[in-house]
Amino acid sequence: MSGLSGKAPRWVLVALLCAFRPNLAPAQQNFPPETVPPAFTADAVFAARVRSLLLPYTEPATGRFAVGKQVLETLLRQLPGARAKFSWDLRIASGAGNVFSSPDGTIFVDEELAQAMGSRAGSGPGLWAAALSHEIAHIIRRDWARRYLFQKLLTEAGSAQITLGESGPFSGAWLDAQGASSQLASFCQNMELEADAEGLMLMTHAGFDPDFIPALHHLLEAQPGQADAGFFDPSHPSWDEREQKLQKLYVAAGREYDRLWPERYASPGGNSPTVVYVGLPSAKRGSSGDLEVLIPLHCENLAGSVEVVLRFRPPDSEFPTELRQFAGCTSNRTLITFNLPSPPSTEVRRRRSRAQAEVSVLDDSGALLTHSRAALTLR
């Protein structure tokens, strides 16, 4: 999943993210899973260190988090061969910031995120499946080993560059540090997309609707810090890119899920989740001078209504405005309109300005479905 927050121990950040050293040179190999040497044990050593250091700061997935453990068991039943190769465990970690895994089969889930997944009435198991299947794919593909070997190759190539000098056979393109950084980021992003694809099919065969993946992406994106200005992790594709890359596979997975579970309510994941896509909001002045804010919505699997919450600070106002509206979101593109009273000053009405708008969409129980930010031009 995404990178860890600043609350996590520094060594975890260094070890688990695809870090780039500026003097490394690019390489062409991508180390598919089958090329990891059977005798390679550095990932096992790393896993033992991760477990010994993090165990005191985590707790087992029991009590209110027991559903996560149950989902893990359901997913692993689809992989009888992998079950015996790893020491599977699910741990809840306070302040981890997201979801990450260790090569030995231990999966760590941030406590606040675990609570958020559990707050979605009826959707908890499916959201857990979307999160855990991705990490299971990383583990069985030995992605930590692949990343380690790739970085080692880059280091060796960088050493060769220093030894041979600019006149050697590795000069020219080999000296492009920016290209090397881009290649490493691309390698890590490809691993994420591969884990997305394998995790999608794993959860589908285990009985969880593929729509739980975009539902989880929207929930993750709405977590504090994920949408902050300047947040960027070059080793992970954006949520939008991940969904776009999976479009064709989503269709195939949906057909497979329908074949295996024609009665969705009877599947391990239960009914399909509500997924809401929010378009870019726009604003215009109505004939009366009032400001109209338009928010396009597209909803999947919605039964009932959603609550749309708009927050922004109008021009020349010290206080933010919050407006709420319930919507059925029944068409492919539903427009939600918020009307704001015209400011008393003609000069203010004519002035063109921009405001940062936040849009949240909640289900009928008040649980967050999605959250987005956008600059709103006020005319």
Question: Which residue is listed with tokens 């009590």?
Answer: 63
pLDDT in tens, 235-273: 787 878 888 888 899 999 999 999 999 998 899 999 999
Q: Is 288 exposed, middle or buried (0-12, 13-18, 19+ CB in 10 A)?
A: exposed
pLDDT tens track for 53-67: 888 899 999 999 999
Residue 368 to residue 374: CA distance in whole angstroms: 18
What three-state secondary structure class fits 268? Answer: coil
Q: Is 81 within 8 Å of 94 (Cβ atoms)?
A: no
- Provide the residue-wise pLDDT of the chain in tens; the chain has 379 residues: 543 333 444 334 333 434 333 333 333 445 678 778 888 899 999 999 988 888 889 999 999 999 999 999 999 999 988 888 899 999 999 888 789 999 999 999 999 999 989 877 778 899 999 999 999 999 999 999 998 888 777 766 655 544 444 444 334 444 355 555 777 778 888 999 999 999 999 999 999 999 999 999 998 888 766 544 334 466 787 878 888 888 899 999 999 999 999 998 899 999 999 999 999 888 887 677 677 889 999 999 998 899 999 988 766 666 678 899 999 988 888 999 998 766 555 544 455 567 778 999 999 888 889 998 887 776 6
Domains of the chain, first to last: 10-266 (no CATH), 275-378 (2.60.40.10)
The token pair that represents 36 in the structure block: 């990891």
Neighbour count for residue 27 (Cβ, 10 Å): 21
pTM passes above 0.85: no
Give CA separation, 298 vs 13, 18, 234, 317, 335, in Å: 36, 35, 29, 31, 9
The partner residues of 273 in beta bridges, in order of sequence, read: none
Say which amino acid occupies 111: E
d(CA 374, CA 245): 23
Please report, for residues 78, 253, 261, 332, the alpha-carbon distance to residue 246 in angstroms, rounded to integers and kept in the order given: 21, 10, 21, 20
Instruction: Give rounded-to-5 percent helix, strand, coil for the chain.
Output: 45, 20, 35
Side-chain-side CA neighbours of residue 39 (13 Å): 0
Give the full edge-to-edge strand order of the sheet including 306-312. 321-327, 306-312, 353-362, 368-378
Joined together, the tokens standing for residue 334 give: 């539903």
Cα torsion through 83, 89, 95, 100, rounded to 10: -10
Residue 36's pLDDT is: 87
Buried/exposed 250-268: b ≥16 CB within 10 Å, e otherwise: beebeeebeeebeeeeebb
